[in-house]
Chain A
Amino acid sequence: MKTELRGNNTPISLQNPNLFDSPQSSILSGALKGCLGSLDGACIEKLLLHCASALESNDVTLAQQVMWVLNNVASPVGDPNQRLTSWFLKALISRVSRVCPTPMNLNGNSSPQRRLMTVTELAGYVDLIPWHRFGFCASNSAIFKAIQGYNKVHILDLSITHCMQWPTLIDTLAKRPEGPPSVRISVPSWRPPVPPLLNVSSEEVGQRLGNFAKFKDVPFEFNVIGEQPTVPSSPCISTLEYSSLQYDFLLNQVLNPSTLKLEDDEALVINCQNWLRYLPDEQNNGASQEISCRDIFLNRIKDLNPCIITVVDEDSELDVSNLTSRITTCFNYLWIPFDALETFLSKDNSQRIEYEADIGHKIENIIAFEGTQRIERLESGTKFSQRMRNNGFFSVPFCEETISEVKFLLDEHASGWGMKKEDDMLVLTWKGHNSVYATAWVPCGFDD
């Protein structure tokens, strides 16, 4: 949806010549609210786009004016449109304030602190809507199949949901007819600084998982991989350096056979859940190389010879350089969770507000940041699948059992959730619109 900026001389007729009547005070606010509150999604999207193009062309006045209008529409406790708008507006304001350094954000960190959850809260959070559970279910089912016949399993868990995926797998493995394998789960000591955030360490999470596995009589081990040097938030280190530090950490410490202590008789499972999008996709430094960091990462994964790689992520193309189209795409994608939450949670439900706030955090990163600070670099499922094939992976189709498990799961949620098969992917849909995709891969030439 392209915005059209016309020339300066568009004549506009006065609708009311009596501009300078004395204002009526608070009645106006009510009237304003009443009128603007009924702006529909298309108008809001247009407003957002105009704000974006105003920002891009340094038209401060226009940007301010649009933001002012948006502010009168936005409400974090209104209807889904209003709620979504409030987060977008916040992101736009954040973007503006980023380019104008203020005493508030000179330290480079003006993002509000997100709330830290307890593990049990997080357990409820991931099950609010099947957004995460869909990926868990599909991946666990594929993993279960892939490790049949193995007595030892090692899972490298690269995800942002703090191991919420594993209890159900442990439970299923416990009931395996031939007895459970011994399970080893490794997580990196660093994860992208995005919500949901926990108030306990990874070690603590692992300990609880261990308790559960013991309770289920599944031999279990948990490791946090890598010693990440704590990077001070001093201005001395640029964001570019910081992000390459993280990247190096991931490549050299985490995807490292010796730090992972890989064993030959173990089935290695690599689980990427909402993870790959945080890997930069720009071309690597070497001018001659056409391969990006993300591809290097995938190749390194391939070198580890895993018996299955499960990849789950959101199905939207959000890594484009053009701000305007990012805003459009984002707005036309993230309405989905907002709409879903609206169907069964009240407007002031705190879980809902928190969930939406976390999405708002994502929106802010996508809209307000650029360069290495913009860490949300989501690519669509189709594009991603192509990337995997280009990097020498075969897709593992999901079997009928998996599909019926996922269907069963979705039946237990609100009726708008559905699922479809799209090429190699299993895609979660809300009212027919793609939301999350799940895929499974093996490296070509996998050595069993």
Chain B
Amino acid sequence: MPADMDNSSVMNDSTASGDASASSSGNQAAAPPTSSAKKKRNLPGMPDPDAEVIALSPKTLLATNRFVCEICNKGFQRDQNLQLHRRGHNLPWKLRQRSSKEVKKRVYVCPELTCVHHDPSRALGDLTGIKKHFCRKHGEKKWKCDKCSKKYAVQSDWKAHSKICGTREYKCDCGTLFSRRDSFITHRAFCDALAEESAKAQTVEALPAPTADDEEPKLQTLASSSPPPSVAAQPPPPAALASSALPVQNPEGPENPKQSPAPPQILEETSVVTSLTGSCGSSSSSSSHGSTSSSVFASLFASSTTSGSMQSQTPEFTDLFRAVARPENASEVVASSSTEPISLCLATSHGSSIFGTAGQERRQYAPAPQPAMSATALLQKAAQIGAAATNASLLRGFGIVSSASASSGQQEWSGRGIESDSASLAAGLGLGLPCDGGSSLKELMLGTPSVFGPKHTTLDLLGLGMAAGGGPSGGFSALMTSIGGGLDVAAAAAASFGGSGEYSGKDMGRGS
């Protein structure tokens, strides 16, 4: 039976062998556009729309001897080996031939439901690939490199890594270490350290284990790349620090009789500092992204050096730059999202109650207090008070509505009323998830007017005050219906309060 796995088509594999794969059950639970047996067509990103999608079970994927001789039941890791072996059985001509000639292209999906490669449109083209992927992503990392601490689930990955681990290290004058030559070269070309080095007579590269393509005989002494040059070379410190670094630098060049004269160094650093200040200023002027600049400078130091030389100075710089670039709406940067203020954070980060007392939500939507109020914050506010239902619309909260009667001639925003027919809204987005407070959850999602105070019939973008027009929002029900298929899985899982743990939400899971 296992010998059929290679040749037979899709679902027969897993069901025949009795390994009820997660994928097959998952496929049936949802009513998705495809099951693993069907081919997806015309999907962008799908390598070959006519390829046959094969879903193997985890057990099959992990099995090392998948190819079993039907005559003596000996197992082999590779099909070629099996075929070689079969010849030894002196089979009559007919049996020597493979059962069917499969010319069809095959792609394989990962059995792990939450995995991005579970979706046929993200299938992998070869069996070895999917096996390795499964091990790497969902398997236990049994192999560990003894030089560094990296762990691997696939033995060949581990072997490949061990070969190169620590064999090549390139060090720039500024102290940064590189394991790849091209990154090293590129960095070196633009590194500030080069400008100082260019006056030096001898410059070298440090290569613990020289490789064939590295014939440069010059060897860079590490002594010359001492901290002070690295200070100058790094994303420039504030002027004060730069000037203090300078006097240190000059006497420090150990093997360099011809020092590059001080003035150019000062110039270089000053100009760089200026540009830093410039960008600092410009970034703080765009107030809603003020916090970007603080993270900018934080990341300047965080990411730009791997050597220890700057580490001790990093916190001070970070604080310094944070002070310099104090964003006006630092409070808008929600705690959970550390660096990107433009980002959209989960609503949960605002701890205040989601359902403001009825009637108060209007005041919460006073015209955006600062123009810098980020989309994030506004959406979160919307979430707090039940986005769609409020009198002041979600997008009005952005400040998108300039005046109550602003006419946007170009656009016809037909005012469609919020459903007073809560029934149709109730099923809502199909996310009728009976978690705790499930019914209220739906309310939240749908923003049933009755919860939020005065029932309003209009939810139009511009607040044009148009009466509730057009009947039920057909689009909405269509949304619910069409999503229902996919979300039923979520609903079903959640129905058991917490689900079966299939939804780790970690990987990019696709249509189950």
A378 to chain B, nearest CB (A): 12
Q: Choose, from B71-79, B96-104, B141-149, B399-407, the stretch at the interface.
A: B399-407
CB <8 Å contact, B387 and A5: no
Q: Choose, from A111-119, A250-258, A259-267, A280-288, the stretch at the interface.
A: A111-119
User: Bound state CA distance, A348 and B446, in angstroms?
Assistant: 32
A72 to chain B, nearest CB (A): 5
Q: Is A214 an interface residue (CB 8 A)?
A: yes
CB <8 Å contact, A75 and B474: no
Q: Which residues of B, 123-143, contact A by the 8 Å Cβ criterion?
A: 123-126, 129, 132-133, 136
Known: A12-B427, A65-B387, A137-B182. A60 touches B413 (CB 8 A): yes
| Cross-interface CB contact of B44 among A16, A120, A332, A431, cutoff 8 Å | A332
Q: Is B12 an interface residue (CB 8 A)?
A: no
Chain A 96-116, CB within 8 Å of chain B: the 1/0 string?
110111111000000011011
| Cross-interface CB contact of A31 among B346, B400, B436, cutoff 8 Å | B436
CB <8 Å contact, A69 and B429: yes
Q: Which residues of B, 1-46, contact A by the 8 Å Cβ criterion?
A: 32-33, 43-45
- CB-nearest residue of chain B to A212: B189
CB <8 Å contact, B379 and A61: no
Known: A16-B426, A61-B388, A102-B402. A116 touches B303 (CB 8 A): no
Q: Is A43 an interface residue (CB 8 A)?
A: yes
CB <8 Å contact, B121 and A116: no
CB <8 Å contact, A4 and B478: yes
Q: Which chain B residues border A35 with CB–CB below 8 Å?
A: 431, 433, 435, 441, 490, 494
Q: Which chain A residues border B123 with CB–CB below 8 Å?
A: 432
| Cross-interface CB contact of A431 among B133, B343, B504, cutoff 8 Å | B133
Q: Is A221 an interface residue (CB 8 A)?
A: no
| Cross-interface CB contact of A46 among B188, B486, B512, cutoff 8 Å | B486
Q: Which chain A residues border B186 with CB–CB below 8 Å?
A: 123, 126-127, 164, 167-168
Q: Which chain A residues border B174 with CB–CB below 8 Å?
A: 120
User: Bound state CA distance, A76 and B379, in angstroms?
Assistant: 15
Known: A13-B427, A433-B47. A215 touches B203 (CB 8 A): yes
Q: Choose, from A21-29, A234-242, A299-307, A438-446, the stretch at the interface.
A: A21-29
Q: Is B363 an interface residue (CB 8 A)?
A: no
- CB-nearest residue of chain A to B234: A120
CB <8 Å contact, B182 and A409: yes
Q: Which residues of B, 182-238, contact A by the 8 Å Cβ criterion?
A: 182-183, 185-192, 194-195, 197-198, 203, 215, 235
CB <8 Å contact, B432 and A15: yes
Q: Is B351 an interface residue (CB 8 A)?
A: yes
CB <8 Å contact, A115 and B303: no
Q: Which chain A residues border B136 with CB–CB below 8 Å?
A: 415
Q: Is B242 an interface residue (CB 8 A)?
A: no
| Cross-interface CB contact of B440 among A21, A103, A166, A351, cutoff 8 Å | A21
CB <8 Å contact, B388 and A99: no
Q: Which residues of A, 411-448, contact B by the 8 Å Cβ criterion?
A: 411-412, 415-416, 431-434
B353 to chain A, nearest CB (A): 4
User: Bound state CA distance, A208 and B187, in angstroms?
Assistant: 11
| Cross-interface CB contact of A120 among B32, B187, B443, cutoff 8 Å | B187
Q: Is A40 an interface residue (CB 8 A)?
A: yes
CB <8 Å contact, B183 and A62: no
Q: Which chain A residues border B279 with CB–CB below 8 Å?
A: 115-116, 199
Q: Is B359 an interface residue (CB 8 A)?
A: no
CB <8 Å contact, A22 and B423: no
Q: Is A321 an interface residue (CB 8 A)?
A: no
* Total count of chain A residues near the partner, CB < 8 A: 136
User: Bound state CA distance, A103 and B499, in angstroms?
Assistant: 46
User: Bound state CA distance, A112 and B286, in angstroms?
Assistant: 8
CB <8 Å contact, A121 and B119: no
CB <8 Å contact, B490 and A39: yes
Q: Is A231 an interface residue (CB 8 A)?
A: no
CB <8 Å contact, A72 and B505: no
Q: Is A10 an interface residue (CB 8 A)?
A: yes
User: Bound state CA distance, A139 and B412, in angstroms?
Assistant: 49
| Cross-interface CB contact of B426 among A15, A124, A350, cutoff 8 Å | A15
Q: Which residues of B, 157-174, contact A by the 8 Å Cβ criterion?
A: 157, 160, 164, 174
Q: Which chain A residues border B482 with CB–CB below 8 Å?
A: 3-4, 46, 50
A37 to chain B, nearest CB (A): 5
User: Bound state CA distance, A4 and B446, in angstroms?
Assistant: 21
Q: Choose, from A86-94, A149-157, A387-395, the stretch at the interface.
A: A86-94
CB <8 Å contact, A8 and B474: yes
CB <8 Å contact, B461 and A75: no
User: Bound state CA distance, A431 and B345, in angstroms?
Assistant: 30
User: Bound state CA distance, A14 and B345, in angstroms?
Assistant: 31
Known: A26-B353, A167-B190, A411-B160. A80 touches B440 (CB 8 A): no
Q: Is B438 an interface residue (CB 8 A)?
A: yes
Q: Which chain A residues border B58 with CB–CB below 8 Å?
A: none
CB <8 Å contact, A335 and B439: no
| Cross-interface CB contact of A41 among B427, B503, B510, cutoff 8 Å | B510
CB <8 Å contact, A14 and B479: no
Q: Is B375 an interface residue (CB 8 A)?
A: yes
User: Bound state CA distance, A199 and B278, in angstroms?
Assistant: 9
B268 to chain A, nearest CB (A): 10
- CB-nearest residue of chain B to A30: B348
Q: Is A18 an interface residue (CB 8 A)?
A: yes
User: Bound state CA distance, A71 and B276, in angstroms?
Assistant: 34
CB <8 Å contact, A25 and B355: yes
User: Bound state CA distance, A411 and B270, in angstroms?
Assistant: 41
Q: Choose, from B84-92, B248-256, B291-299, B309-317, the stretch at the interface.
A: B291-299
A190 to chain B, nearest CB (A): 20
- CB-nearest residue of chain B to A84: B508
Q: Which chain A residues border B418 with CB–CB below 8 Å?
A: 61
CB <8 Å contact, A350 and B295: yes
Q: Is B288 an interface residue (CB 8 A)?
A: yes
Known: A40-B510, A64-B387, A215-B194. A6 touches B339 (CB 8 A): no
Q: Is A211 an interface residue (CB 8 A)?
A: yes
Q: Is B300 an interface residue (CB 8 A)?
A: yes
- CB-nearest residue of chain A to B410: A99
| Cross-interface CB contact of B45 among A13, A99, A124, A333, cutoff 8 Å | A333
User: Bound state CA distance, A74 and B472, in angstroms?
Assistant: 28
User: Bound state CA distance, A357 and B120, in angstroms?
Assistant: 28
| Cross-interface CB contact of B339 among A164, A215, A348, cutoff 8 Å | A348
Q: Is A227 an interface residue (CB 8 A)?
A: no
- CB-nearest residue of chain A to B293: A115
Q: Is A194 an interface residue (CB 8 A)?
A: no
Q: Which residues of B, 354-413, contact A by the 8 Å Cβ criterion?
A: 354-355, 371, 375, 379-380, 382-383, 387-388, 393-395, 398-402, 408, 410-413
| Cross-interface CB contact of A69 among B122, B187, B445, B512, cutoff 8 Å | B445
| Cross-interface CB contact of A348 among B283, B338, B394, B400, cutoff 8 Å | B338
CB <8 Å contact, A25 and B194: no
B96 to chain A, nearest CB (A): 33
| Cross-interface CB contact of B435 among A34, A65, A68, A333, cutoff 8 Å | A34
User: Bound state CA distance, A67 and B393, in angstroms?
Assistant: 12
Known: A5-B474, A112-B289. A16 touches B432 (CB 8 A): yes
15 contacts between A and B (CB under 8 A): A10-B474, A15-B427, A26-B351, A31-B436, A53-B475, A54-B479, A64-B459, A77-B336, A77-B339, A97-B398, A101-B408, A127-B186, A208-B194, A339-B116, A415-B154
The 4 closest A-B pairs by CB, nearest first: A76-B343, A167-B189, A42-B511, A38-B503
